[in-house]
Amino acid sequence: MAKGLRKTGSMIRPEDIGSLTDFARNTKARLKRLKRTGRPELLTVNGKAEVVVQNAAAYQRLIELLEELNTTAANRRAETRTRYD
């Protein structure tokens, strides 16, 4: 695992980690993989996690999911306030 990564509930797959240099050299193939898998790729610089790249459609799905979660959380907060008012 690249330096600087924290363990989270969701593991980054080893095949989804690569260097920024390799990404730059093989951009077309890497973009193809991003589109095919829908998974983000963690790019490293000098062995340290530096940037995440993601296919636009996968990013849009992530944004939509976050908006849904925010709406659900806001609704729950409103329900709780209503119960205790």
70-83 pLDDT per residue, tens? 999 999 998 888 77
pLDDT digits (tens, 9 = 90+) for 15-59: 999 999 999 999 999 999 999 998 999 999 999 999 999 999 999
- Category of 4 on φ-ψ map: left (φ > 0), alpha (ψ -120 to 50) or beta: left
Opening angle at CA 60, ends 12 and 66, nearest 5: 75
* Contacts of residue 31, Cβ cutoff 8 Å, sequence gap at least 6: 55
For the chain, the straight-line distance linking the first and the last C-alpha, in angstroms and rounded, comes to 50
What pTM did the predictor assign?
Answer: 0.70
